[in-house]
């Protein structure tokens, strides 16, 4: 098994939080709030949601750290494709089916299902390309 760069793994986890803040903030925040049923003018509900979300941010960070660690070992061990290529294969084979399942199998209407799928799938695509770049560059 190849070696991995733990600093690169940490950077991936930190950048995932930055990307999430941008993706679900200025880029798609309004659409995501509409999907979640939160009105932008409901400041009290947003504050309550942000306060209760802090433990979830910690869990998400730890899960992403684990995700980047596994991907780093995967990239280091499989020489058949580039870091980005490996990341894209994992995204297409494991991430997208999971995101699609969680978006499709609920009681949301068709347009909301597609919006969830595209926003979450797009975030994961950018995230995995970023991971592939970082983990293959910082071996």
Say yes or no to pLDDT of 2 above 70.
no
Burial class (CB in 10 A: 0-12, 13-18, 19+), 116: buried
Look at residue 66 in the predicted model and tell me its pLDDT: 94
Does residue 103 contact residue 113 with C-beta atoms inside 8 Å?
Answer: yes
For residue 57, give the H/E element and its range.
Answer: helix 43-77
Residue-wise pLDDT for 43-97, tens only, equals 677 677 777 888 888 999 999 999 999 999 888 887 777 888 889 999 999 999 9
* Cα–Cα distance, 130 to 126 (Å, whole number): 6
Does residue 127 contact residue 84 with C-beta atoms inside 8 Å?
Answer: no
Say yes or no to pLDDT of 39 above 80.
no
Residue-wise pLDDT for 106-131, tens only, equals 888 888 999 999 999 999 999 999 99
């Amino acid at each position: 098994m190849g070696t991995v760069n733990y600093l690169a793994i940490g950077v991936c986890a930190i950048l995932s939080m930055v990307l999430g803040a941008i993706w679900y903030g200025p880029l798609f925040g309004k659409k995501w709030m509409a999907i979640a049923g939160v009105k932008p003018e409901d400041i009290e509900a947003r504050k309550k949601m942000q306060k209760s979300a802090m433990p979830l941010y910690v869990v998400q960070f730890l899960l992403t750290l684990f995700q980047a660690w596994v991907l780093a070992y995967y990239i280091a061990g499989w020489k058949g494709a580039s870091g980005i290529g490996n990341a894209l294969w994992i995204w297409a084979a494991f991430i997208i089916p999971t995101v699609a399942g969680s978006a499709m199998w609920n009681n949301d209407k068709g347009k909301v299902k597609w919006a969830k799928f595209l926003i979450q799938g797009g975030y994961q695509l950018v995230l995995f390309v970023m991971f592939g770049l970082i983990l293959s560059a910082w071996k």
